[in-house]
Amino acid sequence: MKKQLLNLSLFVVILGMLFICVRSIMDPIEFTEERANREKAIIARLIDIRTAQIEYRNTHDGAYTDNFDTLINYIKTAKMPIVLKEGELNDDQLERGLTEGKVLEMIAKAQKTNKWAEVDKEGLRGFRRDTSWIALIDTVYPKGFVADSLAYVPYGNGAKFEMETRCDTTKSGTAQWLFEARTDYNVYLTGINDQELNNLISDMKKFDRYAGLKVGDVENPNNNAGNWE
């Protein structure tokens, strides 16, 4: 009886050790897989933020915004010019100083006076440049994009990305704007495996790297790159 109890206890210990060994292998694998799945969505959102900031900068004298409400409203309401082009200037015409502006003035004058000799001589009767305006959101984002989601971290339980801007002055005296949007590992990886999360954060600190995902950098200009790139 004692021998049976001893064998049973030994069997339970072996099972326990086997379980611990299996979990020691599987925990990092499962954590890495879930991390990759979540970060795929977060990276996509950070790229959307970068796209919005670049478009905002293009119409605000090179400046970014650190306010999500401002950025989202811009994305919802801004419009982009689309130029319909018909006809091109050849090398000879360009060398003689003809420009698109001059040609359009020439055509406008011909339309008023009904004298087309000069236009026809250059073969530019069909030359056109028409501008139309379309919604920015329909141009730079896929169909169904929800601008209001821009500020929120996927898997973050309602948490928002941190975003800040900075403006430095270069040696030439021009303004250099920088922006950064980021979210910590603690925001979107908590609850998967606390030990693996702590190990990951510890490794990032050891190598003096940001413990999370971010795009842009307000301390070191990086052309708005993401830290995953």
Q: Kindly state whether residues 65 and 120 are assigned to the same domain.
A: no
Question: 18 pLDDT exceeds 70?
Answer: no
| Main-chain dihedrals φ then ψ at residue 103, nearest 5 degrees | -65, -40
Q: Is residue 116 part of a domain?
A: yes
* 138-182 pLDDT, tens digit each: 889 998 899 999 999 999 999 999 999 999 887 788 888 999 999
* 128-140 pLDDT, tens digit each: 888 888 898 988 9
19 confidence band (pLDDT: 50, 70, 90):
very low
Q: Kindly state whether residues 121 and 147 are assigned to the same domain.
A: no
Q: Is residue 20 part of a domain?
A: no
Q: Kindly state whether residues 114 and 211 are assigned to the same domain.
A: no
Q: Kindly state whether residues 114 and 220 are assigned to the same domain.
A: no
Percent of the chain with pLDDT strictly greater than 70: 88
Average pLDDT score, the chain? 88
The structural domain count of the chain equals 2
- Residue 26 per-residue DSSP state: H
Tokens of 179: 């922006």
Q: Kindly state whether residues 98 and 62 are assigned to the same domain.
A: no
The pTM for the full model equals 0.76
Q: Is residue 27 part of a domain?
A: no
Question: 121 pLDDT exceeds 60?
Answer: yes
Burial of 210 by CB count in 10 Å (0-12 exposed, 13-18 middle, 19+ buried)? Answer: middle
At 206 the pLDDT is 93
